[in-house]
Amino acid sequence: MSSPTPSTLRVGRRYRANRLDGPYDAIIIGSGIGGLTAAACLSKMGKKVIVLEQHYTAGGFTHSYDRNGYEWDVGVHYIGDMGAKHTLARRLFDYVTDSKLQWAAMDDHYDRLFIGNRQIDLVAGPEAFANELKTQFPGEEQAIDSYLDYLSQVAKAMPGVTLAKILPNLLARPFRHLARRKAPDFLNRTTREVLETLTGNQELIAALTGQWGDNGLVPDDSSFIIHALIARHYLYGGYYPVGGASEMAKTIIPVIQQGGGEVFTYADVKEILIDNGKAVGVRMADGQAIHAPAVISNAGVFNTFGPLLPESAPHKAFYQNKLGQVQRSMASVCLYIGLQDTAENLKLPKTNFWIYPGADYRGQVESFLAAPDSHDIPLTYISFPSAKDPSFTERYPGRATIEIVAPGPFEWYQDWADQPWGKRGEDYEAKKEAYAQRLLEKLYEKMPHLRGKVDYYELSTPLSTDYFCRYSTGEIYGLDHTPQRFEQDWLKPKTRLPGLYLTGQDIMTCGVVGAMIGGLLTTVAVSGLKGLPLAKKMFVG
């Protein structure tokens, strides 16, 4: 990727020490959607909150960027549960944006799976979803109905799992025990293990797990919790923010500012300040100390309990040990494509493509990682953001965009990790170009009429993810969503250090809404009893 050009999409105010306007009630490290959600919720409770973002624009994986006359999102490809205002996801978005963020529905066939030579559509609505699969897999009707029932059982169990994250330890232990007793016994088994109790049809299992890229783990390794949450999240279809992904931060920041707070960009936090065993603030890269009674880290647990927490901090050894019990999630590459015509003229769909060589997801991933040049890409995800956003043509007349995401381990690019961003040399660019061409061919296989229509493209690698989002191995989903991850009772908002809290995708689950729920839980944890009405408002309605 080339150096950033001046962008109309930069969101937030540039940090300067003389622009600080304390005292602040809370400091939030990182402006990902979990941090912004916590900041907005705390602001609505009368707290003055400062959000510190080291990137040039706020939003974390929800930010967008523009270059060469095009605009792309970097992580928001679709959101579920936005079609009805009573869902938790929609209530939360409406609350933190003062209902300013608008949504556009995708096609009813929101996800299209290409598994070998077979095409299977995932269709919005439980009945339509089931009917399409039953047409594709005659004789598997009972398995499909049971599968949808399993998704409902997980949804009913999750409030207990969630509430245990914010209860004090003495209350949480019996509550967790009670929640486990009420939860189905399959709740935290691997996805494949659960599905194979329903059917032996491997192609049906592949179809049901065809969105595994949304959490980054093949079904053999992922917890059924994350699979069920994602599948149910999209069961009523996919939606896209009108105006693009950057509208999320743009509509949340004014809510933070209304409470006297601010979101600063180019604001690089170097250390969490500890005094008498308590977190009392942060030290910036320029040496400036900022103090507040609550420090909330949205930087991920590896950053929080690694470089940000001083070696002398209490419980550092405890958390370092705990980090050994979780793994970083997958890294990826993304090809950003620009075309000089409209999505309508180019017949770009409001449907995501998931392309797999066959139904053996684990085998294909392992073969590819062992010998990438001689094996097919195991997962290619294609998104058409300019088709999903009804405002795109007005903002970028005569233009369209496509994004292609695929596995891209950090190890492939680590030889260039110490080189400056945008100046990593010809070998690095050649390696990117080779993969970019493979991804373009995947696009042309499904949409041959686009060959020769591409005006511009650039590939981001895990090094870009590290540079912009401070995930050191390019992990896009924080922590792997294995069964073991969901047994970690330390992954919750309140840490062992008074004054230090966690938020974002690591404390609940990945995804925009998963991270937002993390922000909500952190708000309740910071606020104590005063936060319970907000929890009730969001979870109960």
- What is the pLDDT averaged over residues 323-352? 96
| Predicted local confidence at residue 168, as pLDDT | 66
Task: Say whether pLDDT at 515 is over 70.
Answer: yes
Sign (positive/negative) of CA torsion 426, 428, 430, 436?
Answer: negative
| Predicted local confidence at residue 177, as pLDDT | 56
Residues sharing a CB contact under 8 Å with residue 296, sequence separation 6 or more, in sequence order: 26, 27, 28, 29, 35, 38, 501, 502, 503, 522, 526
- % of the chain with per-residue pLDDT over 70: 95
- What is the pLDDT averaged over residues 1-9? 40
The DSSP-derived string for 10-72 is --SEE--GGG-----SEEEE--SHHHHHHHHHHHHTT--EEEE-SSSSS-GGG-EEEETTEEE
- Distance, CA of 80 to CA of 83 (rounded, Å): 8
Q: What is the pLDDT of residues 385-402, one digit of tens each?
A: 999 999 999 999 999 999
| Predicted local confidence at residue 180, as pLDDT | 56
473 neighbors 283 (Cβ within 8 angstroms): no
Domains and their CATH numbers in the chain = 13-100+243-325+488-539 (3.50.50.60), 126-228 (no CATH), 328-469 (3.90.660)
CB neighbour class for 275 (10 Å; exposed up to 12, middle 13-18, buried from 19) = exposed
- Distance, CA of 504 to CA of 519 (rounded, Å): 6
pLDDT band at 276 (very low <50, low <70, confident <90, very high): very high
Weakest-pLDDT range from 244-248, 379-383, 472-476 = 472-476
Residues sharing a CB contact under 8 Å with residue 61, sequence separation 6 or more, in sequence order: 32, 33, 74, 75, 76, 469, 476, 512
- What is the pLDDT averaged over residues 10-36? 95
- Distance, CA of 24 to CA of 258 (rounded, Å): 14
Paired tokens of 217? 């783990």
- What is the pLDDT averaged over residues 24-38? 97
Element (H, E) at 362: helix 361-370
- What is the pLDDT averaged over residues 476-490? 93
Rg for the chain, CA atoms, rounded: 22
pLDDT band at 1 (very low <50, low <70, confident <90, very high): very low
Q: What is the pLDDT of residues 150-197, one digit of tens each?
A: 999 999 999 888 887 887 654 455 545 555 556 889 999 999 999 999
pLDDT band at 517 (very low <50, low <70, confident <90, very high): very high
* CA 507-510-515 angle, 5° bins: 60
- Distance, CA of 80 to CA of 234 (rounded, Å): 5
Residues sharing a CB contact under 8 Å with residue 187, sequence separation 6 or more, in sequence order: 153, 154, 157, 224, 225
| Predicted local confidence at residue 164, as pLDDT | 79
CB neighbour class for 271 (10 Å; exposed up to 12, middle 13-18, buried from 19) = middle
- What is the pLDDT averaged over residues 35-58? 96
Paired tokens of 534? 């907000």
pLDDT band at 7 (very low <50, low <70, confident <90, very high): very low
Paired tokens of 349? 């769909």
* Averaged pLDDT of the chain: 92
Paired tokens of 187? 């709740």
| Predicted local confidence at residue 30, as pLDDT | 96
Task: Say whether pLDDT at 105 is over 70.
Answer: yes
Task: Say whether pLDDT at 413 is over 90.
Answer: no
- What is the pLDDT averaged over residues 119-134? 98
Q: What is the pLDDT of residues 279-321, one digit of tens each?
A: 999 999 999 999 999 999 999 999 999 999 999 999 999 999 9
Weakest-pLDDT range from 116-125, 414-423, 453-462, 490-499 = 414-423
Whether the ω angle into residue 168 lies within 30 degrees of 0, i.e. cis, is no
> According to the 3-state scheme, what is the secondary structure of 465-530?
HHHHHCCCCCECCCECCCCCHHHCCCCCCECCCCCEEECCCCCCCCCHHHHHHHHHHHHHHHHHHH
